[in-house]
Chains A and B, each alone.
Chain A
Amino acid sequence: MINSSKSEEEIYHAALEEPPDRRSGYVRAACGDDLELLERVESLLKIREDGNNFLESPLFADQPLMSTPPEEKPGDTIDKYRLLEKIGEGGMAVVYMAEQERPMRRKVALKIIKLGMDTKSVIARFEAERQALAMMDHPNIAKVLDAGATETGRPYFVMDIVPGLPITEYCDKNRLSIKERLRLFILTCNSIQHAHQKGIIHRDIKPSNIIVTMHDGEPVPKVIDFGIAKATSQRLTEKTLFTRHGQIIGTPAYMSPEQAELSDWDVDTRTDIYSLGILLYELLTGTTPFGEEQLREAGYLQMQRIICEEEPTKPSTKLSTLGEALTDVAKWHSSSPELMPKLVRGDLDWIVMKTLEKDRTRRYDTASALAADVHRHLNSEPVEAAAPSISYKLRKFARRHRVFVVAGLFVVAALMVVAVVSAMYAREVSIHARESENARQEITGLLAGSYVDRAQALCEQGEVGRGMLWLADSLKTAPEGSSNLGRAIRTSLAAWHRQLHSLTTVVQYPDPITAVTFNSDGSRILVVCQDGTARLCDSVTGKAISRPLNHGSLIWDAAISPDGTRIATWGTDRLVRLWEASTMEQVAEPIQHQECWRIVFSLDNARLITAGRDGFRFWDAGTGKSLGKAFRYESEGVRAITCCADGVRAVIKVAQGKHQMFDVDRGEPIGPPVKHVNLGTVVISPDGMRFATCDGEGLIRVWEAATGGEALDPIVHGGGISALAFSPDGSRIVSGGLTRMALLWDAATGEPIGAPMRQRNTVRAVAFSPDGTRAVTGNQDGVVRIWDLIKRKYVGEPVRHQDELVAAAYGPEGLRILTETDGVVQVRDAATGKPIGKPFSHPGKIWRIAFSPDGSRLLTRKKGSADFIRLWDVETGEQVGRPFNKSPTRMTFSPDGSRILAGGHDAVARVWDAATLKCLGEFHQHRSSVFAVDFSPDGSQFLTGSFDGTTQLWDSATLEPIGKPLVHQSEVKDVAFSPDGTKILIGFADGTVRLRDLKTLKPIGTPLQHLKIVCAVAFSLDGSQLLACSIDQTARLWDAATLKPIGPPLEHDCWWPTLASFSPDGSEILLADPHGTAEIWQAPPGPLKGDYERIVCWVHVVTGMELDSTGGINVLDAPTWQQRRRRLNELGSPPGLTLSEF
């Protein structure tokens, strides 16, 4: 018995000496019978354990005691920064987007350190390094601009906002290949090198501090948080490392041995090199050498031991040991599990291991040395990292020179981009080529396949043009023997082309373009150059129609009359000149409107309206005679003017940053002024109801003129906008600007339509053709491009009927729909809406249907699981027999129509005689709902699939099972036989789709992926394509032979798709759900024909781009484009995709 006469304080201290798990026992023993003492000591220990010791830091006068400091929230002001929204939160800090008011207005990121820290010393340490930080000037380093303390006494840092994803996330999300990852890594090393040269050590390099942001469409890594780690670093001790709430400060996985050894003062630039090595490791393998979990769980000393002593596994070995996870990692690298370890083995292993040396003297000396070695690897030069034995060097040399020899074997004409990657395979290839043709084919096939995946990822991210270039490039890599892969690529190219704004015309003019506009029938464009000339050109060929007109001074604005007969220009000579369009001769005397801002022709072609600082004036468009003045106003300028059916509308700047629409004829404002500061171009919608404004920060705002409210959320174009236009029907907006691209937007939703229309220079003018199908862009470099715009969805509207649509399915003659009014159901022809047969009355809402093969009979079932299947005669509308098969799921006719196969919620599948409705067999094989049923094409077999994750094949004649049930990885939602009866396709609840050989029942290839439940699967009529429809709101198509994706996903609006099928002629795809949604999509077009050169040339022409040597894109200049266009004519455009003649 422990002496109970100890004082409260003694017991308190003694208890703290005990291990935590024994404390309570000790206290009980020590206090003996003194319950009051026991209660007090326990309370004291508990309050100590709770932490939050306000006394810990010296008093700040306004720091509240006891309670935790209140969290900052949006709207709060911290010094000169106003918090806008929380954009990130981690264990250490919370980051807000904030607006700085002074000295200039701008948006910044404000990082507030959460953990209790000595704010004064944090700021002092930051101030000490401020000078050095200010010396850093590198485009890929986001500077820390300021530091201070919040009112609650927490330190904060102010940084540039860097939009983007952490480098690892970016790479995986975009499925970057190893090569592309290495490129980003080299850029990262270069930034770190710059900082090191200025004497700054980062100390906390990890993926979340390297943000990949888009610059001119290219990913660029930006290093953030320089200086913060040093300012906030406390002496690492067990106590500070595992802080109050058990959180580890910092990221142990990225911690160098010298940091882990708590010798924090001993950190130097080689510490950053180590962390860069971990980063490279993670980029290559998707994981760190010592797992974050492993380190956190290890406890402090154990963690220290691991970091300081344990030898990390080589990246390639790590990859090989990932097991199942390697499939994912390979997918994120647009590679295959077989290929990944091969790509990393050797050079990259050595480079990584050199950076991760425990002894820092053995690491790379500098970040640039590390970058240089990675670069050498990319160029197939010997890397410094390995012990440079002579044999290694020789091997490298041989490899470098053999590439082209080997490449010649299987590549028609090697572009640099392929050559570099090929180098990695060259060794394998050279070893195998002599022995096995198959191995060579396999490797090049894998390579081409990885390009296809990469291309698909690019296309799906909206970079359709770039993705198509990659697709075309993969054609070259695809082995000649592999006609399947070639066909898949050609089909996918044709399908994606429907999602591309295709370039049709490129013309070079001698001076920057200030305005472009179509004439009323769209056959011509008027191109106005800054030098004062304007030309009428054919909008298809780009050829000049007439000689240029010459205004005599720089032209600021130009207009063409709706009938195309008159042109008006005004320029720096402050004169408005009228021209006869057919001759380009000046008509009438120049119009004097000194303060002119904008000019426009009236809709009836009779008048020219000039808008100036002093008001509006009307002129006779034929003679140039004044028709008098209109509405006068005092203002700072007219931003936009347009003639609509209701009269002349203008947007006038009424005050700084404020704009208001006016009815010019009446001289009255329409609605209140709107505020959009830093304003650029303003355009008015063709109906005169709305107008759009844009600013230097790349925001487009669309305003309802009458209310002054915003019609939709601001559209983010990004970068300064210099050109804007509404489509003639007002449904779309095209914008262009400094970022060297034009973008198309849905004016109702603000969603982008299609990929960027890339340019080589700033876009200065944009316009739509009168029918809205084309757009023209004019640039600072004098180049005009004309684009064929894609439609919003490349399919027809969803099928509709004035009555409620309850189901849709293909009958023998075409698409049929079922409509319902007041419980009366009518089968109709979808195209004409005409009734087929007599209506019938259906008890309850129809959920699923099936037509007999000849279309004469119809099966229906109600929603819910308690009802029966009903059979109907379509012609008479009579019900055939009684309802049968309680609680059905899905039902289908046999190919000859003689039998009905139905699955049930009761886990039973049944076969019925279609004539007598007699049950021919009950199959109790499954243990859960049977959701999937299908007959083989010849009717000899049928397949059932269940939610219990099994499928079973049956013999139709004997009604006996064939073989054992197949057990799958997920619940079965739908099955389909291939048209030739050799394969089955299965859709699962986990979002995967799997193809299996019917004979061997073995899976073919890897599973195909959707994000959510796959409800319906189908084969195309010829069996060459697979279709799967998911509740993730997409349906996807794959090539059945290669399992490569084909074209864009079909982004459907079916809530719970129950049907996905090809039309009988194979040209369309029907997606339908039981809620009356039926969408018809165009099936992918046939594969592009023609040889590789023709297809690549065609892709260059329609995208206006080519791949550069690094796999990036290069926008073609006008002469090059025209040359490719002529070459394409010589080669012949791929059939069915003819471009207009040049």
Chain B
Amino acid sequence: MTDVTRILNAIEQGDARAADDLLPLVYEQLRLLAAQKMAQEKPGQTLQATALVHEAYIRLVGLEKQSWASKGHFFMAAAEAMKRVLVDYARQKKSLKRGGDHERVPLDDANTPENNLPLSDDLIDLDEALEKLSKADRAKADLVKLRYFAGLTGEQAAKALGISHATAERYWDYASSWLRLEIVRNRQKRSC
């Protein structure tokens, strides 16, 4: 039984604090995987976030059958972790572009090719908007994270959150409009 499986079991048995232990583990694993992938892949190859999450799951949880609740916890952590990994990359890239903040330590020592550094302002903006949504309506923000960052389908995400598929679809519709409006507004504010 892996550390992560143990934590998932603990969460299932009602240990709410165990969830806090999960995120660092998953984050660590994802960061490692992302760095490896980027170093290995040929230039121009795309780095697929969802593939990373699934690979991380297999490494951390293994192939043992897990309940959807457990999986849900993992993927929630993974989505959050993935978001952090990517937002970190985006911030780093942005600061490199500006030529400032040279002291910032790269995420890893691998000689990451510039064109593999993903993302840009868009992702940072999305992150900000998601944080705001999370405060207002956590379930909807979680749904978006699961689908967008962990690559779950609408149905899987609904199961992971323990809501009906129809509700998940309604959440999704509203949340994506809400987020896009938020991003657009923030940009307008900034450019003013």
Give which listed residue, B118, B125, B148, B178, contacts A44 with CB less than 8 A: B178
Render B57-92 as a binary contact track against A, CB cut-off 8 A, 1 for contact. 000000000000000000000000010001000000
User: Shortest CB–CB separation between residue B113 and chain A, in angstroms?
Assistant: 11
A9 to B167, CA, bound (A): 13
A67 to B49, CA, bound (A): 19
Q: Which residue of chain A is the closest to B79 with respect to CB atoms?
A: A59
Known: A44-B181, A61-B86, A64-B122. 13 other contacts (CB 8 A): A13-B173, A45-B177, A54-B180, A59-B149, A60-B46, A60-B47, A61-B118, A63-B46, A65-B122, A65-B123, A65-B125, A65-B126, A67-B122
Give which listed residue, A48, A55, A56, A62, contacts B118 with CB less than 8 A: A62
Q: Which residue of chain B is the closest to A40 with respect to CB atoms?
A: B181
A47 interface residue per 8 A CB criterion: yes
Q: Is the CB of A149 within 8 A of B180?
A: no
- Knowing A48-B173, A151-B44, A153-B46, say if A62 contacts B178 (CB, 8 Å): no
Q: List 15 A-B contacts (CB under 8 A).
A: A9-B174, A13-B170, A16-B173, A43-B181, A44-B181, A47-B177, A53-B176, A55-B144, A55-B148, A58-B147, A60-B49, A61-B48, A61-B119, A62-B47, A151-B46
Enumerate chain B interface residues (CB-CB to A < 8 A): 44, 46-50, 82, 86, 116, 118-120, 122-123, 125-126, 144, 147-149, 151, 170, 173-174, 176-181, 183-184
For B122, what are the chain A residues with a Cβ–Cβ distance below 8 Å? 54, 64-67
Name the interface residues of A60-93: CB closer than 8 Å to any CB of B: 60-67, 77, 79
- Knowing A13-B174, A65-B122, say if A53 contacts B180 (CB, 8 Å): yes
Q: Which residue of chain B is the closest to A9 with respect to CB atoms?
A: B174
A631 interface residue per 8 A CB criterion: no
For B144, what are the chain A residues with a Cβ–Cβ distance below 8 Å? 55
Closest 3 CB pairs of A and B: A65-B122, A61-B118, A61-B47
User: Shortest CB–CB separation between residue B160 and chain A, in angstroms?
Assistant: 14
For B174, what are the chain A residues with a Cβ–Cβ distance below 8 Å? 9, 12-13, 44
A120 to B46, CA, bound (A): 11
Q: Is the CB of B180 within 8 A of A58?
A: no
A1030 to B86, CA, bound (A): 66
Most buried by A among B47, B116, B173: B173
For A62, what are the chain B residues with a Cβ–Cβ distance below 8 Å? 46-47, 116, 118-119
For B47, what are the chain A residues with a Cβ–Cβ distance below 8 Å? 60-62
Q: Is the CB of A61 within 8 A of B49?
A: yes
A807 to B44, CA, bound (A): 66
Name the interface residues of A543-601: CB closer than 8 Å to any CB of B: none
A77 to B178, CA, bound (A): 37
Q: Is the CB of B180 within 8 A of A47?
A: yes
For B176, what are the chain A residues with a Cβ–Cβ distance below 8 Å? 48, 53, 55-56
Render A31-48 as a binary contact track against B, CB cut-off 8 A, 1 for contact. 000000000100111011
Give which listed residue, B126, B151, B177, B183, contacts A58 with CB less than 8 A: B151
For A67, what are the chain B residues with a Cβ–Cβ distance below 8 Å? 122
A238 to B134, CA, bound (A): 33
A9 to B181, CA, bound (A): 14
Q: Is the CB of A55 within 8 A of B44?
A: no
A64 to B48, CA, bound (A): 13
A16 to B44, CA, bound (A): 41
For B126, what are the chain A residues with a Cβ–Cβ distance below 8 Å? 65
Q: Which residue of chain A is the closest to B126 with respect to CB atoms?
A: A65
A153 to B118, CA, bound (A): 13
Q: Is the CB of A44 within 8 A of B86?
A: no
Q: Is the CB of B48 within 8 A of A60?
A: yes
For B184, what are the chain A residues with a Cβ–Cβ distance below 8 Å? 47
User: Shortest CB–CB separation between residue A252 and chain B, in angstroms?
Assistant: 28
Q: Is the CB of B149 within 8 A of A149?
A: no
A1141 to B155, CA, bound (A): 89
- Knowing A9-B174, A44-B178, say if A59 contacts B183 (CB, 8 Å): no
For B125, what are the chain A residues with a Cβ–Cβ distance below 8 Å? 65-66
For A79, what are the chain B residues with a Cβ–Cβ distance below 8 Å? 44
A60 to B123, CA, bound (A): 12
User: Shortest CB–CB separation between residue B78 and chain A, in angstroms?
Assistant: 12
User: Shortest CB–CB separation between residue A239 and chain B, in angstroms?
Assistant: 13
Q: Is the CB of A12 within 8 A of B177?
A: yes
Render A1-35 as a binary contact track against B, CB cut-off 8 A, 1 for contact. 00000000100110010000000000000000000
A66 to B121, CA, bound (A): 10
How many interface residues does A have (CB within 8 Å)? Answer: 30
A978 to B155, CA, bound (A): 83
For B180, what are the chain A residues with a Cβ–Cβ distance below 8 Å? 47, 53-55, 66
For B179, what are the chain A residues with a Cβ–Cβ distance below 8 Å? 55
Q: Which residue of chain B is the closest to A79 with respect to CB atoms?
A: B44
For B82, what are the chain A residues with a Cβ–Cβ distance below 8 Å? 59
Q: Which residue of chain A is the closest to B44 with respect to CB atoms?
A: A151
For A12, what are the chain B residues with a Cβ–Cβ distance below 8 Å? 174, 177
Q: Which residue of chain A is the closest to B149 with respect to CB atoms?
A: A59
Q: Which residue of chain B is the closest to A12 with respect to CB atoms?
A: B174
Q: Which residue of chain A is the closest to B122 with respect to CB atoms?
A: A65
Q: Which residue of chain B is the closest to A78 with respect to CB atoms?
A: B44
A1138 to B179, CA, bound (A): 86
For A120, what are the chain B residues with a Cβ–Cβ distance below 8 Å? 48
User: Shortest CB–CB separation between residue A113 and chain B, in angstroms?
Assistant: 16
For A60, what are the chain B residues with a Cβ–Cβ distance below 8 Å? 46-49
A66 to B122, CA, bound (A): 7
A120 to B148, CA, bound (A): 15
User: Shortest CB–CB separation between residue B99 and chain A, in angstroms?
Assistant: 22
Q: Which residue of chain B is the closest to A13 with respect to CB atoms?
A: B170
Name the interface residues of A143-162: CB closer than 8 Å to any CB of B: 149, 151, 153
Q: Which residue of chain B is the closest to A57 with respect to CB atoms?
A: B148
For B86, what are the chain A residues with a Cβ–Cβ distance below 8 Å? 59, 61
Q: Is the CB of B118 within 8 A of A58?
A: no
A58 to B183, CA, bound (A): 18
For B46, what are the chain A residues with a Cβ–Cβ distance below 8 Å? 60-63, 149, 151, 153
Q: Is the CB of A58 within 8 A of B173?
A: no
A48 to B180, CA, bound (A): 9
For A16, what are the chain B residues with a Cβ–Cβ distance below 8 Å? 173
For A54, what are the chain B residues with a Cβ–Cβ distance below 8 Å? 122, 180
Q: Which residue of chain A is the closest to B183 with respect to CB atoms?
A: A66
A58 to B52, CA, bound (A): 12
A797 to B109, CA, bound (A): 77
Q: Which residue of chain B is the closest to A48 with respect to CB atoms?
A: B177
A40 to B50, CA, bound (A): 32
A16 to B172, CA, bound (A): 14
Q: Which residue of chain A is the closest to B180 with respect to CB atoms?
A: A47
- Knowing A13-B170, A66-B122, say if A59 contacts B177 (CB, 8 Å): no
User: Shortest CB–CB separation between residue A156 and chain B, in angstroms?
Assistant: 13
For A9, what are the chain B residues with a Cβ–Cβ distance below 8 Å? 174
For A47, what are the chain B residues with a Cβ–Cβ distance below 8 Å? 177, 180-181, 184
Q: Is the CB of B50 within 8 A of A59?
A: yes
For B178, what are the chain A residues with a Cβ–Cβ distance below 8 Å? 44
User: Shortest CB–CB separation between residue B42 and chain A, in angstroms?
Assistant: 9
A645 to B44, CA, bound (A): 57
A43 to B178, CA, bound (A): 9
Q: Is the CB of A58 within 8 A of B49?
A: yes
For B173, what are the chain A residues with a Cβ–Cβ distance below 8 Å? 13, 16, 48
Q: Is the CB of A58 within 8 A of B119?
A: no
A60 to B119, CA, bound (A): 9
User: Shortest CB–CB separation between residue B128 and chain A, in angstroms?
Assistant: 12
Name the interface residues of A108-123: CB closer than 8 Å to any CB of B: 120
A44 to B170, CA, bound (A): 14
User: Shortest CB–CB separation between residue A4 and chain B, in angstroms?
Assistant: 19
A151 to B118, CA, bound (A): 11
Q: Which residue of chain A is the closest to B120 with respect to CB atoms?
A: A64
Most buried by A among B116, B177, B179: B177
Most buried by B among A59, A67, A77: A59
A43 to B181, CA, bound (A): 7
A969 to B183, CA, bound (A): 60
Most buried by B among A45, A54, A65: A65
User: Shortest CB–CB separation between residue B156 and chain A, in angstroms?
Assistant: 11
Give which listed residue, B49, B120, B170, B181, contacts A59 with CB less than 8 A: B49
